[in-house]
């Protein structure tokens, strides 16, 4: 038994703090008791004097494969980023995959996050060894994770109608070599990965990540739906992240992306839509009726200029909402406090009555219990008996708590991660007074720097190709997204994409 004594505990629902001692039994919170009311002879005692104890934050959406590509882009849209994916996440050895995931997990823990939903990508299809490397990294750091292999059976170039046709021959030939495995192979690989899962699902859970609706054939999506149901795992997808995606969805399916996924039977309580920016009231009610979750990533939406999900409307629809950082190529830090702060602040932009603004307590709920539900972990996200002992120790002597007037407001509006002193996950202090007890950050840094030096040489050709493509892809995609009426001219009457010289702009 362990007694965490002397701290103030953030209570669920009210998000006020109360002086309480936390009794931990193994990896679980056994009780919350009045200060110093339990002596606990022989129990381990952890001093939390001057500390605010909050549940570990949950990151609803990230990508381990791009941690080593942190900071490489500035003014990139989502489409420009997808055009660069072959080199930002490619040519990774198993060790590179491990190191990237470990660096990301370590940053998250350092910033008070104890669980993440990681859509981890490998090309041309996921491998058991790659997923295992990522699982090992999270395990070694000591963090919980739901890992969804990010999968597709169409490349970005194949997924956007007309894009291949407008490329010069040499570039078209080059991008046609970027191919995903046929969906039957990918689904078989995912089946093997999930069926042979040896990780403790209380810590490392499997899921499926068909990346973007129109990057997946309908047969593929249906196979993912069936596999997820059969193996009882969740599904996370990027849904309507950019305006272009929403337009392509309408053109391809004659309905919204959400309506398309609904028609295919993908939506359900185990479904988590990441971003969900370009959706309408009908989409929201479809997602809500299905009991689905949304992972809202305001930092990524800002950086990529994707637009911004309307969190108030998502909440009003009754949807479960998690907050995410997205991966390091699109956000570029992994800071769940920033996600809360931005989620709350951006809801105030525009002409909304103050009652429509997202409050600090709503942001905290999304970053804790909302995230827990989206990830499929049942007993994380609050400090309460029966919940896992995933507890972040916040130093109330940090200047942004001086004075401490309202802990919920200050956690969301003032905290930037620097107040995180210690992090306990499953009753184990993974970060103890700012020092990791599980991994050696200096060694990780050295490994990451060596990997990046090697990869920058190995991916030079891929990078050069994506840089040649970038102006063409950028112009084409922004043209397609600019005015909906342009889109009507990209297909002939039978739905066949028009060639570049047939498109009327």
**CB-based contacts of 389, cutoff 8 Å, min separation 6:** 2, 22, 24, 27, 28, 29, 424, 425, 426, 427
Query: In a 3-state reduction of DSSP, which class is residue 208?
Result: strand
Q: Tell me which stretch binds Zn ion (CB under 5 A): 65-73, 171-179, 322-330, 373-381.
A: 322-330
Least distance from C-beta 285 to Zn ion, angstroms?
24
Q: Which residues, numbered 440-479, are part of the site for Zn ion (CB under 5 A)?
A: none
The nearer residue to Zn ion, 212 or 469, going by C-beta atoms, is 212
Q: Do 365 and 337 touch, CB atoms closer than 8 A?
A: no
> How far is it, in rounded angstroms, from Cα 272 to Cα 258?
12
Buried (b) or exposed (e) across 238-266, using 16+ Cβ within 10 A? bbbbbbbbbbbbbbbbeebbbbbbbebeb
Least distance from C-beta 411 to Zn ion, angstroms?
25
Q: Tell me which stretch binds Zn ion (CB under 5 A): 40-48, 320-328, 369-377, 490-498.
A: 320-328
The nearer residue to Zn ion, 82 or 465, going by C-beta atoms, is 82
> How far is it, in rounded angstroms, from Cα 349 to Cα 302?
13
The nearer residue to Zn ion, 325 or 344, going by C-beta atoms, is 325
Q: Tell me which stretch binds Zn ion (CB under 5 A): 181-189, 246-254, 324-332, 376-384.
A: 324-332
The nearer residue to Zn ion, 326 or 421, going by C-beta atoms, is 326
**CB-based contacts of 217, cutoff 8 Å, min separation 6:** 153, 154, 183
The nearer residue to Zn ion, 107 or 326, going by C-beta atoms, is 326
Q: Tell me which stretch binds Zn ion (CB under 5 A): 3-11, 188-196, 325-333, 441-449.
A: 325-333
> How far is it, in rounded angstroms, from Cα 262 to Cα 111?
36
Q: Do 339 and 346 touch, CB atoms closer than 8 A?
A: no
**CB-based contacts of 11, cutoff 8 Å, min separation 6:** 17, 18, 383
The nearer residue to Zn ion, 262 or 326, going by C-beta atoms, is 326
Q: Do 57 and 420 touch, CB atoms closer than 8 A?
A: no
Kindly report the number of other CB atoms within 10 A of residue 333's CB atom: 15
Please report the beta strands in 250-363, taking only residues with DSSP state E, as ranges in sequence order.
Answer: 271-275, 293-296, 320-323
Residue (of 479, 482, 483, 494) closest to 163 by Cα position: 479
The nearer residue to Zn ion, 328 or 480, going by C-beta atoms, is 328
The nearer residue to Zn ion, 113 or 487, going by C-beta atoms, is 113
Least distance from C-beta 194 to Zn ion, angstroms?
21
Least distance from C-beta 268 to Zn ion, angstroms?
20
Please tell me what DSSP assigns to residue 76.
Answer: -
> How far is it, in rounded angstroms, from Cα 56 to Cα 425?
8
Least distance from C-beta 300 to Zn ion, angstroms?
7
Least distance from C-beta 302 to Zn ion, angstroms?
14
Q: How many residues bind Zn ion (CB under 5 A)?
A: 1
The nearer residue to Zn ion, 278 or 393, going by C-beta atoms, is 278
Burial of 219 (0-12, 13-18, 19+ CB in 10 A): middle
The nearer residue to Zn ion, 117 or 387, going by C-beta atoms, is 117
Least distance from C-beta 35 to Zn ion, angstroms?
43
Least distance from C-beta 234 to Zn ion, angstroms?
15
Kindly report the number of other CB atoms within 10 A of residue 174's CB atom: 18
Least distance from C-beta 64 to Zn ion, angstroms?
11
Cα–Cα distances in angstroms (integers) from residue 135 to residues 96, 111, 204, 222, in the given order: 13, 20, 7, 26
The nearer residue to Zn ion, 326 or 415, going by C-beta atoms, is 326
Q: Tell me which stretch binds Zn ion (CB under 5 A): 11-19, 319-327, 352-360, 426-434.
A: 319-327
Least distance from C-beta 195 to Zn ion, angstroms?
26
Per-residue x/- track, 326-365, Zn ion (CB under 5 A): x---------------------------------------
Q: Tell me which stretch binds Zn ion (CB under 5 A): 29-37, 222-230, 323-331, 389-397.
A: 323-331
Least distance from C-beta 119 to Zn ion, angstroms?
6
Give alpha helix (H) positions in 19-168.
Answer: 78-83, 85-88, 94-110, 128-141, 156-159, 163-166
**Residue, CB closest to Zn ion:** 326
Q: Which residues, numbered 84-123, are part of the site for Zn ion (CB under 5 A)?
A: none
Cα–Cα distances in angstroms (integers) from residue 99 to residues 64, 94, 102, 445, 450, in the given order: 9, 9, 5, 9, 10
Per-residue x/- track, 253-292, Zn ion (CB under 5 A): ----------------------------------------
* List of residues contacting Zn ion (CB under 5 A): 326
């Amino acid at each position: 038994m362990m007694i965490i004594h002397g701290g103030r505990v953030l209570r669920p629902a009210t998000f006020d703090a109360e002086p309480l001692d936390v009794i931990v039994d193994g990896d679980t919170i056994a009780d919350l008791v009045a200060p110093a009311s339990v002596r606990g002879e022989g129990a381990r005692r952890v001093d939390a004097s001057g500390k605010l104890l909050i549940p570990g934050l949950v990151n609803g959406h990230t990508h381990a494969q791009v941690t080593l590509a942190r900071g490489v882009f500035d003014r990139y849209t989502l489409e420009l980023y997808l055009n660069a994916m072959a080199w930002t996440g490619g040519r990774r050895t198993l060790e590179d995959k491990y190191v990237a995931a470990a660096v990301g997990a370590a940053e998250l823990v350092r910033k008070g996050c104890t669980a993440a939903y990681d859509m981890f990508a490998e090309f041309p299809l996921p491998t058991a060894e790659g997923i295992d490397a990522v699982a090992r990294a999270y395990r070694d750091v000591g963090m919980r994770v739901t890992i969804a292999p990010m999968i597709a059976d169409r490349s970005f170039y194949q997924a956007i109608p007309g894009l291949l046709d407008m490329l010069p021959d040499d570039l078209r030939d080059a991008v046609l070599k970027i191919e995903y495995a046929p969906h039957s192979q990918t689904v078989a690989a995912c089946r093997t990965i999930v069926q042979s899962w040896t990780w403790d699902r209380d810590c490392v859970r499997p899921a499926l990540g068909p990346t973007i609706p129109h990057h997946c054939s309908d047969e593929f999506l249906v196979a993912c739906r069936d596999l997820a149901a059969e193996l009882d795992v969740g599904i996370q997808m990027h849904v309507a992240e950019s305006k272009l995606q929403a337009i392509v969805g309408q053109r391809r399916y004659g309905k919204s992306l959400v309506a398309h996924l609904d028609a295919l039977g993908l939506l359900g309580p185990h479904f988590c839509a990441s971003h969900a920016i370009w959706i309408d009231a009908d989409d929201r009610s479809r997602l809500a009726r299905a009991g689905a979750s949304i992972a809202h990533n305001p930092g990524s939406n800002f950086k990529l200029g994707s637009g911004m999900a309307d969190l108030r409307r998502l909440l009003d629809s009754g949807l479960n909402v998690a907050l995410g950082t997205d991966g390091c190529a699109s956000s570029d830090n992994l800071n769940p406090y920033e996600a809360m702060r931005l989620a709350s602040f951006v809801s105030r932009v525009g002409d909304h009555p103050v009652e429509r603004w997202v409050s600090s307590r709503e942001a905290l709920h999304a970053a804790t219990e909302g995230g827990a539900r989206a990830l499929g972990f049942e007993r994380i996200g609050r400090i309460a008996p029966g919940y896992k002992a995933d507890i972040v120790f916040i130093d109330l002597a940090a200047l942004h708590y001086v004075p401490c007037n309202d802990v919920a407001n200050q956690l969301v509006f003032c905290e930037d991660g620097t107040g995180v002193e210690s992090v306990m996950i499953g009753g184990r202090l993974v970060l103890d007074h700012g020092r990791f007890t599980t991994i050696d950050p200096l060694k990780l840094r050295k490994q990451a720097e060596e990997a990046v030096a090697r990869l920058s040489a190995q991916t030079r050709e891929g990078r050069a190709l994506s840089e040649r493509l970038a102006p063409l892809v950028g112009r084409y995609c922004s043209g397609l997204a600019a005015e909906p009426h342009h889109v009507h001219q990209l297909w002939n009457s039978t739905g066949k994409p028009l060639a570049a010289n047939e498109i009327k702009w």
